[in-house]
Amino acid sequence: MNPTTKRHWKLSIMPKESFLANRIKSVGFALKGMFLLLKTEASIKIQFVIALCVTAAGFYFNISPTEWLIQLIAIGLVMGIEGVNTAIEKLADYVQPEHHEKIGFIKDISAGAVMIVSILASIVGFIIYLPKLF
C-alpha cells in the first residue's frame, strides 16, 4: 500500500465530527479571538469603553428602537472592522517583519477602513444625541 492510499484509508475510518460539534468549536475559536482582541489591543479597548458609554447614554436618554438598532450596527461595524484591521496588521507583520513599502500601504488602507467607519459612527452618535442634549 503506498503512503497516499494509506493516508486516505486512515482518514476514511476516522469518525467525523458532527455539524453541531464543529459549530460549537467555531464559536469557541471566535470567542477566544474576541477576548484576545479585547485583552491585547489598545484601540479596541478604547472603542469598547466608548461603546459602553454610548450604550449607557442610550438608556439614559431612552433612545428609540430604531436609534438602538442604528447605534448597535455602528458599534458592531467599528469593532468588527478594527478586528479585521488588527488581523491584517498581524498577518502583514508575520509575512514581512521588516519595514516594506507595500506592506505599509496595505496596513494604511486597513487603518483607513477603520477611520471611515469610526467617522460615520461618530456622525450617527451626533445625530442621535445632539438633539437630546439641546
Give the pLDDT confidence of 80-105 residue by residue, as tens digits.
999 999 999 999 999 999 999 999 99
Summarised one tens digit per residue, pLDDT across range 19-68 is: 888 899 999 999 999 999 999 999 999 999 999 999 999 999 999 999 99
Dihedral, CA of residue 97, residue 35, residue 44 and residue 100, to nearest 10: 10
User: Hey, what CATH topology would domain 42-134 get?
Assistant: Helix Hairpins (1.10.287)
- Residue 107 assigned to a binding site: yes
* pLDDT computed for residue 13 by the predictor: 63
- Residue 32 assigned to a binding site: no
Whole-prediction pTM: 0.80
Q: Which residues, including other chains, have CB under 8 Å from residue 57's CB and lie 6 or more apart?
A: 129
* pLDDT computed for residue 21 by the predictor: 87
* Mean pLDDT confidence for 66-85: 97
d(CA 95, CA 87): 12
**Cβ atoms of 70 and 124 closer than 8 Å:** yes
d(CA 23, CA 14): 19
* pLDDT computed for residue 2 by the predictor: 59
- Residue 8 assigned to a binding site: no
Q: Which residues are annotated as catalytic?
A: 82
- Residue 100 assigned to a binding site: yes
Tell whether the model's pLDDT for residue 15 goes beyond 80.
no
Tell whether the model's pLDDT for residue 8 goes beyond 80.
no
d(CA 102, CA 41): 23
**Cβ atoms of 48 and 79 closer than 8 Å:** yes
